[in-house]
Amino acid sequence: MSTRRLLADPRARRYLTAQTLSLVGDSAMWLACGIWVKELTGSDGAAGLTFLFFSLPALLAPVAGLLADRLPRRRLLLVANLAGVAILLPLLAVRGPGQVPLIYAVMLLYGGLHLVIEPAQSALLVSLLPGDLLAAANGLLRTVRESLRLLAPLAGAGLFALFGGAAVAVLDMATFVGAAALLWTLRGPDPTPDRPERTAGVLRHWLGEAGAGFRHLAGHPLLRRVALACTVLALVLGFAESTGYAVVDRGLHRAPEFLGVLQAAQGIGAVLGGLLSTVAIRRFGEIRVAAAAFLAWSAGAVLAAVPTLGVVLAGRVSSGLGLTVMAIALLTVLQRGAPDRLQGRVYTAFEVTTTVPQTASIGLGAYLIGVLDYRAVLLTEAAVVAVAALLLLRADRLPMPPASTPPASTVPGTTPPASTPPASTPPASTPPASTPPASTVPASTAPASTASASTPPGSTVPASVRASAGPGAAASGHDGGHDDRARAGARRPAGAAPPARP
C-alpha cells in the first residue's frame, strides 16, 4: 500500500527515476575506468589506483556536508549533476597510456562530486515526502541499487568491450543530464537551510560549523550509542575483503573467479533486504531491526566457516540481507535525529566515524588471514559483530533527540537562527472576550514539541519527541556504491507550513 501511494506521487516518481539513472551510470563507470587503466597499462596496481583516487576526497567529507547544509538542496544537486558532465568530458580525449593520469584526475573529481551529492540527496528526499512514505521510498531505492549492482557492472564491462571507455563515459554523462532534467521538473519550495549567526572569528566559526555533525552525534545518548555500535562493527567489517578469497580457496577449493558466485548470492540477499526492510521497520522500529541485521551478518560469517557450498551460499545471502537492512535502519535513525540545518553534516560525520575503522580493518584482515586459519578470522568477526548488536539493542531504550532543538548542535562562536524562537502567548488582556487566552496563539506558531507524532509499532522511542516522524532510510544516486540516507520525517522550523503537494 505504501509503495502504491509513493508511486502515485509525481515528485516521488521523478526523484526515484533520477536516482535510478544515477545508479546506472555510476555502477557502469567506476568498473569501466579500472578496466580501462588495466587495458592501457597492463598493470593491476595501476588499475587499483583508480579506486584510490576516487576515495581520496572522502577526507573532505565534513566540508561537503557543510555545503549541503548551506545551499538549497535541489539547486545544489541540479548544478552538481551538470558539473558531472563537465568532469567526464576529458575522458573522451583518452587515447593511450599517456592519458592514464587524466583518468586518475577525472576519478578524483568524480569522487569529490559524489561527496557533495550524497548528503544533499539525503536531505532533499526527506523534504519531498511525508514521513509515512519515506520507508517505502528508501526500501525501493535500496532494492534498485542492489539489483543494479548485479547487472550494471556487467553491462558497463560489455559496453567497454564493444565500444571502449569513451562510450561508457558518454552513457554516464547522459545519466547526469537525465537526472538534472528530472530535478529541474521538481516543483515546490527549495529553501536555504537556516544557519546560525557568526559571532566569533572567521576561522573559529567555520571550523566549528564543519565539526557540528560530530558534536551532534556525540551530544545525544541514542546517537552516541548508535555511532559506538557501528564503530565496533566497522572494526571487523573489512575482514570480508580477505576472508572471501580464503573461503573460496581453502574452504571450497575453487578457483578465485568463483568468488563472483558468492557475490551474486550476497546480492540476492541484499535485494531481499531492501524488499523486507520497510515492513520490518514499521513493525519493530529501527533499532531492533538494525540489531537483528547485525546478527544476520554475524550468522553469515559463521556459516562461511563451514566448508560446504550450500552452507556458504546461505551465509552469503544472510550477510547481504543484513548489510542492506542495517544501512536503511541505522541511517533512518541518524536523519530522524538531526535538525534540518545539520542534515548534511550529521550524514558525513557518521561516514567518517565508520569509514576510518572499516578501512583499518581491511588492512588488519589482510594480515590476520595470512597468520591464522581463515575460520578463526571468520568466527572472530562474528563474535565482534554480535557484541555490536548487543550494544545497539541497548540503545532501544533511549529516546530519539528532538530534531527541532538539538542541544549538542550549537556551534562555538555562533548563535541559533533568529527565526526559531519558541512562540510566546500574547497577554491575556488582548484577546476578544469571547476567546479564551490560550486560543490566541495561532496553531502555526506553536512550539514544535507540541506537534502530533506518529510512532512505528513496536518502537520504544517516546512519541513526544518524534514529531512528524515515521520509519525510513535513503539511497543515494551518484554515490559510487555508498549507502543512501533519509530520515522518517521532514524537519521544519516551528510554525513552518508543510511543502505544497502537486
Residues 13 and 144 in one domain: yes
Domain termination site, one of 155, 190, 225:
190
Whether residue 70 lies inside any domain: the answer is yes
Whether residue 495 lies inside any domain: the answer is no
What grid cell was written down for 385?
559483530
What is the biggest distance separating any 2 CA atoms in the chain, rounded to whole angstroms?
A: 87
Residues 304 and 162 in one domain: no
With a CB cutoff of 8 Å and minimum separation 6, the contacts of 197 are 414, 415, 417, 418
Report yes or no: 449 and 467 within 8 Å, Cβ to Cβ. yes
With a CB cutoff of 8 Å and minimum separation 6, the contacts of 372 are none
Q: In the beta sheet, which residues pair with residue 453?
A: 467
Whether residue 202 lies inside any domain: the answer is no
| Residue 154 identity (one-letter amino acid) | L
Report yes or no: 229 and 236 within 8 Å, Cβ to Cβ. no
Whether residue 427 lies inside any domain: the answer is no
Whether residue 321 lies inside any domain: the answer is yes
What grid cell was written down for 254?
575453487
Residues 172 and 247 in one domain: no
- The domain that contains 354 carries what CATH number? 1.20.1250.20
Report yes or no: 248 and 254 within 8 Å, Cβ to Cβ. yes
| Residue 364 identity (one-letter amino acid) | L
Residues 121 and 263 in one domain: no
Residues 75 and 148 in one domain: yes
Whether residue 250 lies inside any domain: the answer is yes
Sequential pLDDT tens for the chain (502 residues): 577 787 787 888 888 888 888 877 877 787 788 888 888 988 877 887 888 888 888 878 888 888 888 888 888 999 999 999 999 999 999 988 999 999 999 999 998 998 888 888 877 877 777 766 776 777 788 788 777 777 766 677 778 888 888 998 999 999 999 999 998 988 766 766 666 666 666 677 677 777 888 898 888 889 999 999 999 999 999 898 788 888 988 999 988 768 778 888 988 998 899 889 888 988 898 899 999 999 999 999 999 999 999 999 999 999 999 999 998 888 788 877 888 788 788 888 898 888 889 888 988 988 898 899 999 999 999 999 999 999 999 888 887 766 433 333 333 344 444 444 444 444 444 334 343 333 333 333 333 333 333 333 333 333 333 333 333 333 333 333 333 333 333 333 333 333 333 3
Residue 340, Cα to own-chain centre: how many angstroms? 16
Whether residue 205 lies inside any domain: the answer is no
Residues 28 and 164 in one domain: yes
Residues 31 and 70 in one domain: yes
State how many domains the chain has. 2
Enclosing H/E stretch for 415: strand 414-415
Report yes or no: 213 and 69 within 8 Å, Cβ to Cβ. no
Residues 161 and 23 in one domain: yes
> Which of 131, 135, 467, 133 lies closest to 280, judged by CA?
135
DSSP assignment of 81-141 equals HHHHHHHHGGGGG--SGGGHHHHHHHHHHHHHHHHHHHHHHHHHHHHHS-HHHHHHHHHHH
CA atoms within 13 A on the CB side of 233: 29
Residues 167 and 274 in one domain: no
Say whether 294 sits in a helix, a strand or coil.
helix
How far, in Å, CA of 300 to CA of 376, rounded? 14
Domain termination site, one of 158, 190, 222:
190
CA atoms within 13 A on the CB side of 500: 7
Q: Which domain holds residue 184?
A: 1-190
How far, in Å, CA of 218 to CA of 342, rounded? 14
Residues 182 and 277 in one domain: no
How far, in Å, CA of 456 to CA of 358, rounded? 31
Residues 38 and 126 in one domain: yes
Residues 166 and 226 in one domain: no
Whether residue 58 lies inside any domain: the answer is yes
Cβ neighbours around 192 below 10 Å, total: 12
